[in-house]
Amino acid sequence: MFDGPLAASAYEVLGVAPTAGEDELRRAYRLRLRQTHPDTGGDAAMFIRVQRAWEHVGTPQDRAAYDRGRQGVTWGVDAAATRSTGTRPAATSYGTAGAWRRRRFLQMMAAHLGVAVTDAQAYDPAVVRAAPWSARRMLADALAEEATAAAIHELGIGFTVWHDVACGPDGGEKLDHVVLAPTGLYGLMSEDFGEDVRFRQGEAIGESVRGETPVADLLSRMRWVAKVARVRFGGAILILPDEDLAHAATSLGTVRGLPVVAVRRSALRTVLRKGVPGARPLGMTEAFDVRTRLKQAVRVLVP
């Protein structure tokens, strides 16, 4: 929490400068609690964020650790490696998660600064936080895709995943991840809006969503892949940072016979292992056929 390109820092949530003294910090915390408490008309989601912010900076020890973490934050490619940290065989993977969005981010930063930039300059936290929201959002989504890839990577050899799958007649759109699991075939979208996300009529809403339609986009791109590869998906999964969802997994209903769920990033592996409720299972023979069809038909944007 508080370490993404879109996320407000703990100090920003509490409404104080990072140099605030302990007494000022404590007064700000109490004030923000009163302002955001649901019983007095405040926003429940912001009330929880205020409490979480205090957990990070409420004691000298926690604050020192938090400040060290902020100073050491890096969003470079090396910081988001998706390789396995265990000894078990990893999932089979095609494509490079986050690579397409990282390319777009670097282009946006060059346009924003008006000069060619090195990776070190573009990923400098101070430079990123001063960049337009659209550029920060692009980087946040790249990091989200890489975090999803890391989680799937650890699931083992029973899983196959394609990242950054080209969609649409001209390949101008993409599906973040296609996962073939023992429990079914799933389309995944990794997002980070930087704030709490709610849902209405099966779609994400909230100030930070800014009119985007991630669920509709996910389903549309899955339909394209299903048509091109001649496969049937069992479910759709929208993945968000843990702090942006009220529950580990939230069912968004069934769209055209396809169950859709929004899950916290930390719950993704559990959902993929157990299966999306209501998803159509695959038999061993069909799974082999689906894998073959996808390998022949899917084109990843960055090998």
CATH classification of the domain holding 36: 1.10.287.110
> What is the C-alpha to C-alpha distance for residues 141 and 147, in angstroms, rounded to an integer?
10
187 and 118 Cβ atoms separated by less than 8 Å: no
Q: Write out pLDDT tens, residues 152-161.
A: 999 998 999 9
Q: Is residue 201 part of a domain?
A: yes
Average pLDDT of the chain to the nearest whole number: 90
Is position 131 within any domain? Answer: no
What are the angstrom distances between the C-alpha of 256 and each of 81, 174, 181, 259, 264?
36, 21, 21, 8, 24
Q: How many domains does the chain have?
A: 2
Residue 122 lies in a domain: no
The tokens describing 279, both together, are 């998803």
User: Is residue 43 scored above 90 in pLDDT?
Assistant: no
Asked if residue 183 and residue 38 are part of one domain, the reply reads no
Residue 174 pLDDT: 96
Distance CA 46, CA 195 (A): 9
Asked if residue 302 is part of any domain, the answer here is no
Neighbours of 155 (CB within 10 A): 21
Tell whether the model's pLDDT for residue 234 goes beyond 50. Answer: yes
Residue numbers of the domain that contains 210: 83-95+141-297
Is the pLDDT confidence value at 82 over 70?
no
pLDDT of residue 2: 59
Largest CA distance in the chain: 66
Distance CA 56, CA 18 (A): 12
Spatial separation of the C-alpha atoms in residues 153 and 82, rounded to whole Å: 7
